[in-house]
Amino acid sequence: MFQAAKQTKVFQDVVAQIQEAILDGRLKTGDTLPSERQLKDTFNISRGTLREALRVLEQKGLIEIKLGVGGGSVVKDLNADQVSEGLALLIRSQKVSLNHLAEFREDVEGIVAARAAARSSAADIDKLTELLGAARKCIDAGLSQRNAFIEIDKRIHMTLAQVTANPIYISVLHSVHDNIHRYYDEFLSMDERELQENYQDLCDLVQAVEKGQADHARQLARDHVHRFNQYMKSREQAKKDNYAAENIKPQIP
Amino acid sequence: MFQAAKQTKVFQDVVAQIQEAILDGRLKTGDTLPSERQLKDTFNISRGTLREALRVLEQKGLIEIKLGVGGGSVVKDLNADQVSEGLALLIRSQKVSLNHLAEFREDVEGIVAARAAARSSAADIDKLTELLGAARKCIDAGLSQRNAFIEIDKRIHMTLAQVTANPIYISVLHSVHDNIHRYYDEFLSMDERELQENYQDLCDLVQAVEKGQADHARQLARDHVHRFNQYMKSREQAKKDNYAAENIKPQIP
DNA sequence: ATCATAGAATGGTTAGACCATTATAATATT
DNA sequence: AATATTATAATGGTCTAACCATTCTATGAT
Look at residue B96 in the predicted model and tell me its pLDDT: 77
According to the per-residue pLDDT averaged within each range, which of A6-20, A109-123, B186-200 is highest? A109-123
CA of B9: nearest nucleotide by C1' is: C12
Cβ B185 vs Cβ B164: under 8 Å: no
Q: Residue A247: its pLDDT value, please?
A: 58
CB–CB contact B172 A169 (8 Å): no
Scanning every strand, the nucleotide with its C1' closest to B68's CA turns out to be C22
CB contact burial A20-51 (16+ within 10 A = b; e otherwise): ebbbeeebeeeeebeebeebbeebebeebbbb
B25 CB inside 7 Å of strand C: no
CA A193 and chain centroid, separation: 28
Architecture in CATH for domain A81-230: Up-down Bundle (1.20)
Nucleotide of closest approach to B46 (CA, C1'):
C14
Confidence of residue B6 (pLDDT cuts 50, 70, 90): low
Q: Kindly indicate the confidence band of residue A212, based on its pLDDT and cuts at 50, 70 and 90.
A: very high
Q: Are A15 and A55 in contact (CB under 8 A)?
A: no
What pLDDT score does A206 carry?
96
Q: What average pLDDT does the segment A211-228 reach?
A: 94
Q: For residue A95, what pLDDT is reported?
A: 61
Architecture field, domain A10-75 = Orthogonal Bundle (1.10)
Portion of chain B with pLDDT greater than 90, in percent: 60
Question: What 3-state class would DSSP assign to B65?
Answer: strand
Cα–Cα distance list, A124 to A149, A173, B95 (Å): 20, 18, 20
A64: alpha, beta or left? (left if phi > 0; alpha if psi -120 to 50): beta
Whether B250 has a pLDDT exceeding 50, the answer reads: no
Q: How confident is the model at residue A150 (pLDDT cuts 50, 70, 90)?
A: confident
At the top level of CATH, which class does the domain B81-246 belong to?
mainly alpha
Contacts of A119 (CB under 8 A, 6+ apart): A163, A164, A165
Q: Could you write out the DSSP letters of every residue in B147-173?
A: HHHHHHHHHHHHHHHHHTT-HHHHHHH
Task: Find the largest Cα–Cα distance for chain A.
Answer: 79
Confidence of residue A4 (pLDDT cuts 50, 70, 90): very low
- String of b and e for A130-155 (b: at least 16 CB within 10 Å)? ebbebbeebbeeeeebbeebbebbeb
Asked whether residue B9's C-beta has any atom of DNA/RNA strand C within 7 A, the reply is yes
Contacts of residue A162, Cβ cutoff 8 Å, sequence gap at least 6: A170
The confidence band for A193, taking pLDDT boundaries of 50, 70 and 90, is confident
Provide the percentage of residues in chain A whose pLDDT is more than 70: 89
For the cut 50, the answer to whether the pLDDT of residue B125 exceeds it is yes
Within 7 Å: CB of A67 and strand D?
Answer: yes
Given a cut of 70, is residue A252 above it in pLDDT? no
Residue A217 has a pLDDT of 97
Residue A68's nearest nucleotide, by CA–C1', is: D23
Top-confidence residue, A99 or A241 = A99
Q: How far apart are the first and last CA of chain B?
A: 58
Distance B10 CA to D25 C1' (A): 28
Average pLDDT of chain B, as a whole number: 88
Burial of A6 (0-12, 13-18, 19+ CB in 10 A): exposed
Whether residue B2 is predicted with pLDDT greater than 70 in this model: the reply is: no
Q: Where in chain B is the domain with CATH 1.20.120.530?
A: 81-246
Nearest to A82 among B48, B52, B89 (CB): B89
- Across the interface, do B78 and A94 touch by the CB < 8 Å criterion? yes
Cα–Cα dist A99/B168, whole Å: 11
Q: Does A80 touch chain B (CB under 8 A)?
A: yes
Query: What is the C-alpha to C-alpha distance for residues B56 and A60, in angstroms, rounded to an integer?
Result: 9
Task: Evaluate if residue A239 carries a pLDDT over 80.
Answer: no
Check whether residue B11 has its CB closer than 7 Å to nucleic acid strand C.
yes
Closest by Cβ to B89, choosing from A11, A55, A60: A60
Q: Classify burial at A8, counting beta carbons within 10 Å of its beta carbon; exposed 0-12, middle 13-18, buried 19 or more.
A: exposed
Pair A224, A205: CB distance under 8 Å: yes
* DSSP 8-state code for residue B144: G
A110 CB below 7 A from strand C atoms: no
Of B144 and B6, which is predicted with more confidence?
B144
- Gap between the Cα atoms of B109 and B99, Å rounded: 15
Q: Is the CB of A51 under 7 A from strand C?
A: yes
Nearest Cα neighbor of B62 from A9, A63, A85 is A85
Using pLDDT thresholds of 50, 70 and 90, give the confidence band for residue B95: low
Task: Quote ipTM for the complex.
Answer: 0.82
Q: Where are the domain boundaries for CATH 1.20.120.530 in chain A?
A: 81-230
At position A198, the amino acid (one-letter code) is N
Distance from the Cα of B248 to chain A's closest Cα (Å) equals: 26
Yes or no, beta carbons of B111 and A115 under 8 Å apart: no
Helix, strand, coil share (%) of chain A residues, nearest 5: 75, 5, 25
CATH 1.10.10.10 residue window(s) in chain A? 10-75
**Candidates A78, A87, A92; nearest CB to B90:** A78
- Residue A90 binned pLDDT confidence (cut-offs 50, 70, 90): confident
Residue spans of alpha helices (H) in A80-213: 81-93, 98-119, 122-140, 146-163, 167-184, 192-210
Q: Which percentage of chain A shows pLDDT scores above 90?
A: 62
pLDDT tens digit string along B127-167?
Answer: 999 999 999 999 888 777 888 888 999 999 999 999 999 98
CB contact under 8 A, A80 and B90: yes
Q: Return the pLDDT at B169.
A: 93
- CB contact under 8 Å between A80 and B93, yes or no, is no
Q: Does the distance separating the beta carbons of B55 and A89 come in below 8 Å?
A: no
d(CA A93, CA A77): 28
Contact assessment for residue A14 and residue A45, using Cβ atoms and an 8 Å cutoff? yes
Euclidean distance between CA atoms A101 and B166, whole angstroms: 8
Out of A41-55, B94-108, B162-176, pick the least confident. B94-108
A111 to B115: CB separation less than 8 angstroms, yes or no: no
For residues B252 and B35, the model is more confident at B35
Which tens digit of pLDDT belongs to each residue from B10-22? 999 999 999 999 9
**Which segment of A37-46, B38-47, B178-187 scores lowest on mean pLDDT?**
B178-187
Lowest average pLDDT, out of A84-88, A155-159, B94-98, goes to B94-98
Q: How close does chain B come to A18, measured CA to CA in Å?
A: 13
Average pLDDT over residues A8-26: 95
Q: Measure A68 CA to D20 C1' (Å).
A: 13
Contacts of B82 in chain A (CB under 8 A): 82, 85-86, 89
> Which of B 141-180 have CB under 7 A of nucleic chain D?
none
For B47, the closest chain A residue by CA position comes to A48
Partner B contacted by A161 (CB < 8 A): no
